[in-house]
């Protein structure tokens, strides 16, 4: 089987995070943790596109900053504001806080947005090589 390219490797990690974010029903898994993985899926998918374009992705979890590295016309198929809103899950959702717990509908929305970003990145980067 041919080796994956660097952008495809980023997408493999994005897909893994997306699958983790879709996990439901385990009593010891917090929705906050699942939303963190949704943010990570979107982040790694955007970085896959940046790498595909020959860029060295900035070391940031801020999705708005990452999206700003791409031409606007390239991101017209995704809701930039909704994607940028996932940034809140990058750090805050990983630690106990005084914020209200994340409800299931919020988790579903985060996963839906992340899934759209991963799909968008796959359309740009292309499928992984098959053996």
pLDDT tens digits for range 89-105:
998 767 777 678 899 99
pLDDT band at residue 65, thresholds of 50, 70 and 90? very high
Q: Round to whole Å and give the CA distance between 88 and 75.
A: 20
Domains and CATH numbers, the chain: 6-125 (1.20.120.330)
Q: Round to whole Å and give the CA distance between 120 and 115.
A: 9
pLDDT at residue 25 in the model? 78
pTM here is: 0.91
Assigned token pair, 43: 């982040």
Assigned token pair, 81: 């504001």
Tens digit of pLDDT for each residue in 3-61? 568 999 999 999 999 999 999 878 899 999 999 999 999 999 999 999 999 999 999 99
pLDDT at residue 113 in the model? 98
Q: Round to whole Å and give the CA distance between 106 and 75.
A: 23
């Amino acid at each position: 089987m041919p080796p994956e390219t660097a952008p495809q490797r980023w997408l493999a990690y994005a897909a893994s995070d997306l699958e983790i974010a879709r996990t439901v029903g385990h009593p010891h898994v917090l929705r906050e943790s699942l939303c963190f993985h949704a943010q990570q899926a979107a982040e790694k998918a955007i970085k896959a596109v940046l790498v595909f374009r020959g860029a060295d992705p900035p070391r940031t979890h801020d999705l708005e900053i990452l999206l700003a590295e791409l031409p606007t016309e390239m991101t017209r198929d995704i809701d930039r504001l909704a994607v940028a809103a996932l940034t809140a899950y990058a750090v805050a959702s990983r630690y106990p806080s005084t914020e209200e717990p994340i409800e299931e509908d919020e988790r579903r929305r985060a996963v839906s947005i992340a899934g759209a970003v991963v799909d968008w990145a796959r359309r740009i980067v292309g499928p992984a090589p098959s053996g």
